Amino acid sequence: MIGKFDVGQMFDQVCGLFYSSRRKLATAGIFLLVIFFGFHIIFGANGMVVYQNKRADYQKLLKETRDLDEENQRLTKQVDQLRTDPKAIEREAREQLHYTKKGEIIYLLPQKPADQPPKDASAQAANPAAQR
Model confidence band, residue 31 (pLDDT cutoffs 50, 70, 90): very high
Please state whether 31 falls in left (phi above 0), alpha (psi between -120 and 50) or beta.
Answer: alpha
Q: Residues 25, 64: one domain? A: no
Q: Which domain holds residue 57?
A: 51-101
Residue 73 falls inside a structural domain: yes
Residue 8 has pLDDT above 80, yes or no: no
Give residue 25's pLDDT.
Answer: 85
Instruction: pLDDT band for 129, please (50, 70, 90 cuts).
Output: low
Question: What was the pLDDT predicted at 11?
Answer: 81
In a domain, 74, yes or no: yes
Condensed to tens digits (0 to 9), the pLDDT of residues 82-128 reads 999 989 888 888 888 878 888 888 777 888 877 766 666 555 555 55
* pLDDT the model gives residue 23: 86
* Contact residues for 49 (Cβ-Cβ < 8 A; gap 6+): 42, 43
Helix (H) or strand (E) holding 65: helix 48-84
- 62, 39: one domain: no
The arithmetic mean of pLDDT across residues 11-23, rounded, is 82
pTM summary value: 0.48
Domains: count for the chain: 2
Residues 65 and 32 both lie in one domain:
no
Q: Are residues 55 and 36 in the same domain?
A: no
Is residue 131 assigned to a domain?
no
Query: Which pLDDT tens digit goes with each residue over 35-81?
Result: 999 998 888 888 899 999 999 999 999 999 999 999 999 999 999 99
Is the pLDDT reported for residue 132 higher than 50?
A: no
Whether the CB-CB separation of 94 and 100 falls below 8 Å is answered with yes
